Amino acid sequence: MTDLRVAVGQYAATDDPEASTATAVRLVEQAAAAGAQLVLLPEYALAWAPRLRPALGDGHAEFADALAAAAVAHEVSIVVGTLEPEGERLRNVAIALGADGRRRGAYTKVHLFDAFGVRESEVLDAGDPHQEPVVVDVAGWQVGLATCYDLRFPETFRRLVDAGAEVFAVGAAWAAGTGKVDQLEVLARARALENTSYLLLASQNGEGRSGHSAAIGPLGEVLATADDEPELLIADLSRARLDETRTTVPSLRHRRYAVAPAPPPPT
């Protein structure tokens, strides 16, 4: 199998879905020009506001169509976080589009961010923890989908590895605050290291968000990183490097505990 060139797009979405769509499509164009085969865009790539509201999902269909068209036009796969309307509420969904523009998979965020004074659950419906892990094939690489707050739950990534993931694609709008950038880096590097997997992190910059997107290698090494400004990161994922790491550090084979979804809480 060949190596994989990836692009990680960092930008600050607003509550204007047309502007966010234009930015996302432009990043896909730039990524394709750099030879990327996979483009990862952030969580809330469609729209973001300091306080969630259902109207932020109004442009979802047009956003998804525009990115599907961009995938076809530039022959790239795309993973992007959007907001899908569900009645009067929303679902925080990461969608994977193939180079043919078709949806290859979709992951609804399981762990909603009800922390640090934020309550996503006021507007969002969580994904079912019993849903199958979402792992899609991109040019022979197995790419597992997760979103933002999931980084604090290592069992999420164990399940993805058990489903065959070699690369984690994580979209985020990681909240800003004291120590938050350090926490983001530690968590992202740990999830890569403990699973001997690559991890791609597309994290929004802008007011109230931390930025600091990254591409991380299977021993937790930082391959590329952004600060808190808009940026497009390019990284090459090496099949030989992944295989060597998993042979030299066979921690996945040494595991003695399995991971399974928790039973539903009592009613």
Q: Phi and psi at residue 230, in whole multiples of 5°?
A: -55, 140
Q: Phi and psi at residue 25, in whole multiples of 5°?
A: -65, -40
DSSP code for 267: -
Pairing of strands 103-108, 89-97: antiparallel
- Whether 109 sits among the annotated catalytic residues: the reply is yes
Q: How far apart are CA 252 and CA 163, in angstroms?
A: 12
Q: Which of 84, 148, 166, 231 is catalytic?
A: 148
Q: Which of 84, 109, 120, 231 is catalytic?
A: 109
Q: Phi and psi at residue 166, in whole multiples of 5°?
A: -115, -20
Q: How far apart are CA 159 and CA 165, in angstroms?
A: 9
Q: Which of 43, 84, 166, 231 is catalytic?
A: 43
Residue-wise over 144-158: b if at least 16 C-beta within 10 A, else e? bbbbbbbbebeebbb
Residues with a known catalytic role: 43, 109, 148
